[in-house]
Amino acid sequence: MSEPAFVAGDWGTSRLRLYLCDRSGHVLARGEGEGAAAPDCAGRFAAAVAPWDSRYGSGAHGKLPTLLGGMVGSTIGWKEVPYLSCPARPEAIAAAALRFEEDGRAIAIVPGLKCVNRTGAPDVMRGEEVQILGALSLHPELARGRRIFCMPGTHAKWVVVEEGAVMEFQTALSGELFEVLRKHSVLAPGGGEVRADSHAFTQGLDFFRRNAQADLLHLLFSTRSRVVTGEMPKADGASYLSGLVLGADVDTAVSLLDISPSDTVHLICTPALAALYDKSLAQYGMKTKTLDGDACALAGLVRIHTEVFS
């Protein structure tokens, strides 16, 4: 059996995924924990790795070095690591990691990225840059030419990578907007589950596309009015609303980032979200390839580790 060499942690707002890795980045053991927004990251981290420490950590090299990425590096996390400006190459991201020693252990936290996006506003990410680096590591051909990545979720990130460098990105509030509207608005109470293969999801996409000159704000109420007037079953509300929101997301991203039908959009997410975005992008004649989000995060941490700790 190969020997443990370091700990990698994908530590987002609401979830920690820990990996015990050997020198080549193979995973020997896994752990989970609460997100970086909960109090006392230092204490919770020490408790989470204590079993590994007691088993492997007393060798010649002391405690296992640890590389962490995600919101753990934000003001609400463990230690704030300043955002690195785009364009940002992988080596620069690794070099900007914040290194410190905690209780005899070498720790490094990956910086987030910032840019001025196409709307002229500042934009930021934390954690997605690790997934991008992981994607480039798992698929080296993506480090050549201009590549479009989309990371659907609470705050969807659309990212342009050129010759392996993160050039710019754009955040859409898609996941969070959908969730707050579904849970807290009058639009879709009892609106069922979102299904990518449903008529209602396609109807929402189509309706946005036909009205792309109107803002989503003037289209959302149709979720309710179609039900109230008997045109749409109540149980279709969530799928329709999701179609509307993702229609707005994709339509604006395609336009802002000059994505052309010949581009492939690389989705980094779960299969369920990939199905929704694949269908949305197909409306614009675009193809997608899906990369698993957790696998990309781990590959990114392993890659950055080799630059930080070797």
Q: Which residues bind its own copies (CB under 8 A)?
A: 75, 83, 114, 118-124, 155, 170-174, 176-177, 180-181, 183-187, 207, 210-211, 213-222, 225-226, 228-229, 231, 245, 248-249, 251-253, 255-256
> In terms of CB distance, is 66 or 117 closer to its own copies?
117
Nearest approach in angstroms of CB 270 to its own copies is: 20
Nearest approach in angstroms of CB 213 to its own copies is: 7
Q: Buried (b) or exposed (e) across 185-223, using 16+ Cβ within 10 A?
A: eebbeebbebbbebebbbbbbebbbebeeeebeebbebb
Q: How many residues does the chain have?
A: 310
In sign, the C-alpha dihedral spanning 192, 195, 201, 205 is positive
Nearest approach in angstroms of CB 237 to its own copies is: 14
Q: Is 306 helix (H, G, I), strand (E, B) or coil?
A: helix
> In terms of CB distance, is 122 or 271 closer to its own copies?
122
Do 122 and 129 contact (CB within 8 A), yes or no? Answer: no
> In terms of CB distance, is 100 or 221 closer to its own copies?
221
The helix-helix angle for 237-256 and 199-210 (nearest 10°) equals 40
Nearest approach in angstroms of CB 151 to its own copies is: 13
> In terms of CB distance, is 185 or 306 closer to its own copies?
185
d(CA 288, CA 45): 37
The token duo for 139 is: 């698929």
> In terms of CB distance, is 104 or 218 closer to its own copies?
218
Do 128 and 159 contact (CB within 8 A), yes or no? Answer: yes
> In terms of CB distance, is 114 or 305 closer to its own copies?
114
Q: 11 pairs with which residues across the strands?
A: 16
Nearest approach in angstroms of CB 177 to its own copies is: 6
Do 273 and 291 contact (CB within 8 A), yes or no? Answer: no
d(CA 170, CA 155): 10
> In terms of CB distance, is 138 or 173 closer to its own copies?
173
Nearest approach in angstroms of CB 162 to its own copies is: 21
Nearest approach in angstroms of CB 83 to its own copies is: 7
d(CA 268, CA 180): 23
